[in-house]
Amino acid sequence: MLSRLMAATARHRRLIVAVELAVAVVLVVLNARRADVTRTLFPWEVGVVLLGGALAIAAFNRRPTTLEVAPDLRAFATPVGPGTVFLLGAWVPIASSNVGSGLRDVAGREDLWQLDLASLVCYAVALVLLVRTLWINPGLELRHDGVLDRSVAGSLFVPWDAFDLERPAYPTGKPGQLEFAYRNPELVQRRGLPPGRKVRTVTNVDLWFLSRAIHHYVTQPGHRAAIGAEAEYGRLRQSLQVTPEQG
């Protein structure tokens, strides 16, 4: 049942985010108009925070041995995960309460209202980053010409010929971190401000499975042109000896 909830949340993430933002606006207006709203809704807010936080942790810890076939991109992409959706849901009650009370203090020029104004700016930046993360769906894609890793701040593109032949990618041992090894680092292309050139943060996929898939295409260039096709994905899984049950 939990797996179905995760899949449905990921599939309808944009609709759910729109609902979460609408609820946030209502809560902000209520908290800005009446100080007693925070006390009235506090028990419910705690429950939502705990539930959303628990679901987010469970979602971020899921590491299936699967990639999504994206024929329009000619790519195999890391699956869309629901973790950030749950995280936003857990964050909405806290943020709405603080933003509403902050707006009330700023409007009334209460003591230290400048701090409230600075806090509102921080909440706005955090909200923009969260929503952008959900909308652009950052992640890693195996393409016919290389590996593309998109983040909120930018992207990193690694052509297949840039990778080390023996060990092109491997988990660092830290949760969600995959390290790339290069033989031609000058071929690596960066746009924006992606964090680092070697260590990448990857979610929603088993890192050993992903590193083996990258090694497969680094050492077998003849199969790269077929990346993005269902038949090629089936052949890849068979080559890596991944069973349907594992995926």
CA geometry: angle 112, 114, 120, nearest 5 deg: 120
Look at residue 245 in the predicted model and tell me its pLDDT. 46
Amino acid at 240: L
d(Cα 48, Cα 92) in Å, to the nearest integer? 9
Q: Where are the alpha helices (DSSP H) in 61-176?
A: 83-107, 113-136
Helix/strand/coil for 171: strand
Report residues of the chain scoring pLDDT below 50.
245
Look at residue 115 in the predicted model and tell me its pLDDT. 83
Q: How far does the chain reach from its first CA to its final CA, in angstroms?
A: 17
**Residue whose C-alpha is closest to residue 30's, from 42, 19, 47, 17:** 42
Look at residue 231 in the predicted model and tell me its pLDDT. 96
Question: Could you read off the pLDDT of 79-130 as tens digits, one per residue?
Answer: 888 888 898 888 888 888 888 888 877 777 776 777 878 888 888 888 887 7
Look at residue 163 in the predicted model and tell me its pLDDT. 97
